[in-house]
Structure 1
Amino acid sequence: MRIRDVGISVFVLLLPVIAGAQQRDSTRSEVREDLEQALEDFDSDNLDMNSEQLVQLLQDMSARPVNVNQADLHMLMQVPGINLKTARAIIRYRRDVKPFEALQELTKVTGIGRVTYEKIHPYVTIGRGLELSSRLFTDRRYWTNGSRFQAFTRYQRDLQESRGYRESPEEGGYLGGPAKYYQRMDYQSDHLSANLTQEKDAGEMLPGPMQFDHQSWHLALENNGRLQTLVAGDYSLSFGQGLVLWNGGVFGKGSNVTGAPNRSGRGIKPYTSAQETNYYRGAAVTYGGRFQLTGFYSSRRRTASEISVDTVRFPTESGYHRTMRQQARRGNLRQCLYGGHIRVELPVGFIGATGYQTTFDRYVAASDQDYARYDFEGISASTIGMDYSLLLGPAVAFGEAARSKNGGWGVLGGVESSIGPDTEVALAYRNYQKEFQSILGDGFGEGSGTPKNEEGIYLGLQHTHGDNIILTAYMDQFRFPSARFGTHQPTRGYDWLGKAEMEIMPGVDAYLQVRGETKEDEYEVTDELGRFRRELGTSRRSSIRGHIEYWVNDDVRLRSRAEWVRSREAGETAETGLLLYQDLRLVLGEKLTLDTRITVFDTGSYASRVYQFENDLLYVFASQPLFDRGQRMYLLVNYEPFSFLEIWAKVGLTKYEDRQVIGSGLNEIQGDTRSEVGVQARIKF
């Protein structure tokens, strides 16, 4: 059956079901559905190594929601969808009107309509039971209030054997087996947190039960009066708009068009992720109230490619130690970090300042490629910056300015505002000089990673029409003052998105999304003498997506999607890609849920690739490019036989119609099929 015939069949099967739509009970709107919606924005080229950290942050926040009756301004602003203006309105309502007695009362707060409420409600609560004074530090109940213990164990592997396992380690093959192991023990209460995370990637060795390739731990005190946070062990740092320090991943440009440019620094967070490189190890503390001081120190081993005995490249981000060569350079570079952050709460918002100094015990050399001409080189680096978030009438003004040790500057500034009762707008400008070397930052921009070599202006708009229609759009224009990866000269471009969401009838939601990007790229041509020459051309990529979701009843959900992509790389001819999928969720009682999906895809090459976010084991982020021609299916089972035990199992299979070799290098698989399995169990009390 051809791909277009499969797609037509999928949607024809769905039509009679839609015709008999029944109303879905609003109480069935579970947290995982809201997470799915948020994470769909990751099915783009903005994926980075820290996506898993953001997934875990959101899922942890949904497990420990923010108390809207007690949280201060800063804590409320950590909730996705709440900015400074909304947070102040919540505090004003509970102070001047009455405390919240039900979550639905949040819609009575100025600035919180249906759209905002649906975005924030998985992460907030009205409070619970015992509320103890911070003076009762000697009371055992103070430390155990809201306590939760959980222990995870996870097993994942590909079923086909790749080239890395067929070759001996002496020939460059993998040292360990194909299984990926993960385990974690975690205790959290309202004021105390302790965690141990261990992981071994596929291909890495596991010499003994406690000799995992990656081990992370922490012991932390949180929300203890003026002692806001105290962490010993592993932690992350996120301040201001991310121009100086930011760990843990962020939502980039996507359907959250008005909130994307404006970040609320999370400060110190105890680290629990299995991502192996994006954290610090040592101690960190935040103390104060309206005036807060943060200090931190870290010393940890990193892995870097070696140039000579005393010179290395900048530390790698993959965390893989699968071959003898990778294992030999594991932890071959020590990085120390110290610094601090000051934050002052004003009647109209916040201002803050951040600074750090980091040193390496070996000289770090930049690449000799044109795109790395202004990259960091040396033994030490430092960056300082000032940030603000201020309420100016109906608008929230936000921004940060930072300077690196070499004199380079980075600046971001913008406003969010309502224009009428149903429309919101965001405008942001960024200018990261090519000399700016904020090696530990992650600012808003076209590309993920450190903010550098970019200038751009962003405009986002959201309009709610009645109770059933939401219209969103953004336009972002950018330029790169110096060469970027893959080019040898300055380039420019722009991208845009338009999306219309509609509740067709109770229980039936749909959206249409159109997206495009145009930017300059270089390509090679051959002249009449047979010489290669690089020329500047234009790359274009656009997509149209139609998506419909329907709850047949409280226990059956159907999703259908069609997406068409057109891509033309500089100097090449245009090609297209197509993705169709049918998704089914079955809620078989309170203890058992099944998710399954069948996807068909047909693309010209990797250039016209398509993406889809998949449900997976808890804390696992699954979104990968699909290209060439084939089908993919998966089945995910979530079973909770007892209140203290939860089990997940997933099997996935991708079959290609036009390939007999999948992957390349040590990941090369012979054949046309790739499949994987995963099992996870969680004990919780």
Structure 2
Amino acid sequence: MVGAPSLLLRSGALLGLSVLGLTLNGQEQATEQLIEDVIAQDAEEGGEFTFNDAFSLLEGYERRPLDLNAATAEELNATYLLSPLQTDRLLAYREMLGGFISIYELQAVPGLDLETIRRMLPFVAVGKGLDDVTVPLATLLTRGQRELYVRGGRRLERARGYALPDPSYLGSPDRLYLKFRQRYGNQLSLGIVAEKDPGEVFFGRADVRRGFDYYGLHFFVRNLNRRVRALALGDFSVSFGQGLILYTGFGFGKSSYTTTVARSSPTLQPYASVNEFSFVRGAGLTLALGKRWETSVFAGRQRRTGNLAADSLSVSSLSLSGYHRTLNELADRRLVGQTTYGGQLKYRPHNRITLGLNFVGEHLNTTLLPRNQPYNRFYFRGTDLGNVSVDYAYRLRNFSFFGEVAGAAFCCGTEGNSQNRGLAMLHGVNVGLDPKADLALVYRRYAPGYRALNARPFGETAGGRNETGLYLGLELRPALRWRINGYVDLWRHPWLRYTIDAPSSGQEYRFRITYTVKRKLDAYAELRSETKGYGIDGGEALKLDPVVNRTRFQARLHAGYRITSALEWRSRFDVGYTEDEWKGRQRGFMFFQDLHYRPLGPFGCSARVAVFSTPGYDVRFYEYENGLTYNARVLPYYGNGLRSFLLLRYKGIRNLTLETRIARTQNTDGSTLGSGLEATDRTHRTEIAGQVVWRW
């Protein structure tokens, strides 16, 4: 029986329906805007970022909402609408009152602010989602939504790799993309994707394989019946625990989402992206073994690009570029057969506790033999590698604990089974200090001798090895329109790293204060600083290059103002510097102005003009750029120049969306763009692209 305090809590939320209802009139919380908010933060530590297919799930929920009374923690976390703590609080509220009776009742969930609720509303419902496990397979296959994407683009300036009469690149500079996908809520996904990168052969040469360079095919069913929780055929992603032995789903790194640090992707997910690694190609299955037990098994094999070693009998590394443009790159294509297999056993003794036992095995049909260098002393060398781990998640009142411990199951390498020594562990906790304050604490320790080919845990560096660190994140909501986020991260690398010929350490902090007026203004100020070891090229005379501490500082002011219901203006100013004892202090800035026109009618557009001035790549600013649907990117701005783009979108034809985009970079200091085979003799670079999307 629901107690009086609970009834008062629910009644108060429903009485507030009219307050929140006012914000729903003209609700234009588009999937695209939410994607921008998320990926712009995730990509700043890397180079170019392409759209992560995981976010396409939101578009399915926009048409067939997720049922709040049936959704699991994994399903809620996979939307990236909620932090882990908010998910825990929502589930605890649902357990206490026996389910939601209205979506407006979300206002009563502790820790759910109005801005978060507004983001959720287009994608959730009460009792109307498609989470019924009895939906027959025939219905899944014959109903739902189908999508066809046809995209093409190219760079107008000719790069050195295309120079006649003897070009190094065998193909044209066109980038081509084709995707068909059919979905039914989150229960069914099937499709095919194909891509050709610039410089790759498509047709016209009899001596080279023609057609698209990459093809992907997938069939995925969730909740087929009460026993089969997930079935994956073709391409799919696999994510275990906190990513210490295998994680190919999406996971937040250090970002302004300062308390969202736990890995939370479902074990199996469909994969429909064009990233040519970070997925499994084969079959996967998740079965329910009663109410408390669940098991997942998978196996897959794919041909990987490898860099052939001098002995022609082994490879020095597995390539991650995905490019096959030159004769050398084609010779390395599909050189290594990689078989990946494994399984997971989950136990939920209580709805607040989850325990997992995970195993992953890897087999390469060609020996992986990195060149002997001091920094890669502990890298895997051999053909077979196995890892095992235990992970946990435990929710207790305002505390949410999570973690994983991993080690070697076996290793058949050039140095024998003793090669894979060392453990990896991560332990964290999210704490709800009160409804207006959340905290996250993460400790990780990845031994230099720990090896896992597809590990992707939280940390400063990729791969889950050679790092010990402590992260503290905080989020405060002191008033209705204000939000304060900050984190501090300290870490140490006990062994050498690539280009860093000594053990090193680092520290990073980030502070952001955000002010939001609903549907009118979104502004924030941010400070960010990072200090870590940096290797200096000492020339051939030195066997080990010296290592100095380099500090990278950045300050940002950003404002987005909705002039009318259809027109939004955004402005951003970045200023920063990089400093070390070798090069001294190098300063730079970036300033852009955006206009976004999104009326109720069929036509929409986005435009930007940016100016930037930095000494070079050492001082760079990562900026989100609106792109064609599912093709937005975050790019580094550096050097001296101007950057602009114009995106046009038309939806006036039934079921069709037509898009075109042009972008241009102009260096103002006379320097040419690109390097190596991508170099041009021009001070400008122009990119054009177009796309047709058909939904039915």
Q: TM-score, normalization: structure 2?
A: 0.89
> CA distance change for structure 1 residues 425 and 96 in 2, over 3 Å: closer, same or farther?
closer
**Equivalent residue number for residue 197 of structure 1:** 193
**Equivalent residue number for residue 400 of structure 1:** 404
* Contact 1:50-1:275 within 8 A present in 2 as well: no
**Equivalent residue number for residue 238 of structure 1:** 239
**Equivalent residue number for residue 223 of structure 2:** 223
SS at match of 1:371: helix
Q: CA deviation at 1:109?
A: 1.7
> CA distance change for structure 1 residues 235 and 669 in 2, over 3 Å: closer, same or farther?
same
* Contact 2:85-2:400 within 8 A present in 1 as well: yes
CA distance in 2 between counterparts of 1:537 and 1:89 reads 45
Q: What is the one-letter code of the residue matched to 2:240? A: F
Deviations 1:630-668 (A, max 9, x none): 111101112112341112211001100113421111100
> CA distance change for structure 1 residues 184 and 89 in 2, over 3 Å: closer, same or farther?
same
SS at match of 1:319: coil
> CA distance change for structure 1 residues 98 and 411 in 2, over 3 Å: closer, same or farther?
closer
CA distance in 2 between counterparts of 1:459 and 1:567 reads 24
Structure 1: give runs of 5+ residues left out of the alignment: 1-22
2:568 pairs, out of 548, 554, 557, with 557
Q: What is the one-letter code of the residue matched to 2:110? A: T
SS at match of 1:327: helix
Q: Quote the RMSD (CA, aligned, Å).
A: 2.6
* Contact 1:306-1:313 within 8 A present in 2 as well: yes
* Contact 1:24-1:507 within 8 A present in 2 as well: no
2:377 pairs, out of 365, 373, 397, with 373
Deviations 1:554-576 (A, max 9, x none): 01100011010111245111111
Q: CA deviation at 1:85?
A: 5.1
> CA distance change for structure 1 residues 662 and 295 in 2, over 3 Å: closer, same or farther?
same
**Equivalent residue number for residue 680 of structure 1:** 691
SS at match of 2:563: strand
**Equivalent residue number for residue 623 of structure 1:** 634
Q: What is the one-letter code of the residue matched to 1:599? A: A
* Contact 2:221-2:230 within 8 A present in 1 as well: yes
Deviations 1:332-364 (A, max 9, x none): 110111110111223222111110111111110
Q: What is the one-letter code of the residue matched to 1:383? A: N
CA distance in 1 between counterparts of 2:189 and 2:274 reads 17
CA distance in 2 between counterparts of 1:294 and 1:531 reads 51
Q: CA deviation at 1:397?
A: 0.4
Q: CA deviation at 1:133?
A: 5.7
Q: CA deviation at 1:525?
A: 5.6
CA distance in 1 between counterparts of 2:483 and 2:88 reads 25
CA distance in 2 between counterparts of 1:259 and 1:110 reads 17
**Equivalent residue number for residue 359 of structure 2:** 355
CA distance in 1 between counterparts of 2:349 and 2:451 reads 31
Deviations 1:100-139 (A, max 9, x none): 45544322223322354355445434453887661x637x
**Equivalent residue number for residue 510 of structure 2:** 497
SS at match of 1:662: coil
**Equivalent residue number for residue 110 of structure 1:** 110
CA distance in 2 between counterparts of 1:328 and 1:533 reads 33
- 1:247-266 pair list within 5 angstroms: 247-260=248-261, 262-266=262-266
**Equivalent residue number for residue 34 of structure 2:** 34
1:207 pairs, out of 179, 203, 207, with 203
Q: What is the one-letter code of the residue matched to 2:455? A: G
**Equivalent residue number for residue 285 of structure 2:** 285
- 1:455-604 pair list within 5 angstroms: 455-503=468-516, 507-524=520-537, 534-604=545-615
SS at match of 2:117: helix
* Contact 2:29-2:119 within 8 A present in 1 as well: no
**Equivalent residue number for residue 412 of structure 1:** 426
**Equivalent residue number for residue 443 of structure 1:** 457
Q: What is the one-letter code of the residue matched to 1:455? A: T
Q: CA deviation at 1:54?
A: 5.0
Q: What is the one-letter code of the residue matched to 2:397? A: G
Q: Which moved more, 1:542-551 or 1:614-623?
A: 614-623
**Equivalent residue number for residue 299 of structure 2:** 297
* Contact 1:56-1:273 within 8 A present in 2 as well: no
Q: Which moved more, 1:455-464 or 1:617-626?
A: 617-626
Deviations 1:583-617 (A, max 9, x none): 00112433221100100001111111122100101
CA distance in 2 between counterparts of 1:387 and 1:556 reads 47
Q: CA deviation at 1:626?
A: 1.4
Q: CA deviation at 1:211?
A: 2.3
**Are 1:183 and 2:178 an aligned pair?**
yes
**Are 1:152 and 2:149 an aligned pair?**
yes
Q: What is the one-letter code of the residue matched to 2:302? A: R
Deviations 1:115-166 (A, max 9, x none): 54355445434453887661x637x446545x11011100011111101111
* Contact 1:49-1:275 within 8 A present in 2 as well: no
**Equivalent residue number for residue 329 of structure 2:** 326
Percentage identity across paired residues of the two chains: 27
> CA distance change for structure 1 residues 55 and 612 in 2, over 3 Å: closer, same or farther?
farther
- 1:328-347 pair list within 5 angstroms: 328-347=331-350
Structure 2: give runs of 5+ residues left out of the alignment: 1-22, 411-419
CA distance in 1 between counterparts of 2:534 and 2:407 reads 29
SS at match of 1:452: coil
**Equivalent residue number for residue 310 of structure 1:** 313
Deviations 1:197-227 (A, max 9, x none): 0000010011389821000001222122321
* Contact 1:520-1:570 within 8 A present in 2 as well: no
* Contact 1:172-1:323 within 8 A present in 2 as well: no
Deviation beyond 6 Å, 4+ runs, structure 1 = 530-533
1:651 pairs, out of 659, 662, 681, with 662
Q: What is the one-letter code of the residue matched to 1:355? A: F
Q: TM-score, normalization: structure 1?
A: 0.90
CA distance in 1 between counterparts of 2:372 and 2:53 reads 32
CA distance in 1 between counterparts of 2:559 and 2:65 reads 29
* Contact 1:305-1:315 within 8 A present in 2 as well: yes
SS at match of 1:574: strand
CA distance in 2 between counterparts of 1:607 and 1:118 reads 39
CA distance in 1 between counterparts of 2:361 and 2:538 reads 45
**Equivalent residue number for residue 10 of structure 1:** none
CA distance in 2 between counterparts of 1:349 and 1:185 reads 39
* Contact 1:511-1:548 within 8 A present in 2 as well: yes
Q: CA deviation at 1:94?
A: 4.5
* Contact 1:636-1:648 within 8 A present in 2 as well: yes
**Equivalent residue number for residue 11 of structure 1:** none
CA distance in 1 between counterparts of 2:258 and 2:46 reads 15
CA distance in 2 between counterparts of 1:588 and 1:49 reads 28
> CA distance change for structure 1 residues 492 and 133 in 2, over 3 Å: closer, same or farther?
closer
CA distance in 2 between counterparts of 1:408 and 1:381 reads 14
CA distance in 1 between counterparts of 2:177 and 2:366 reads 32
CA distance in 2 between counterparts of 1:286 and 1:505 reads 42
* Contact 1:59-1:619 within 8 A present in 2 as well: no
1:384 pairs, out of 373, 382, 388, with 388
CA distance in 2 between counterparts of 1:277 and 1:215 reads 12
CA distance in 1 between counterparts of 2:131 and 2:44 reads 43
SS at match of 1:440: coil
The structure showing larger relative contact order (alpha-carbon pairs under 8 Å, at least 6 residues apart) is: 1
CA distance in 1 between counterparts of 2:516 and 2:308 reads 56
> CA distance change for structure 1 residues 651 and 543 in 2, over 3 Å: closer, same or farther?
same
* Contact 1:185-1:196 within 8 A present in 2 as well: yes
CA distance in 2 between counterparts of 1:319 and 1:346 reads 43
Q: What is the one-letter code of the residue matched to 1:331? A: R
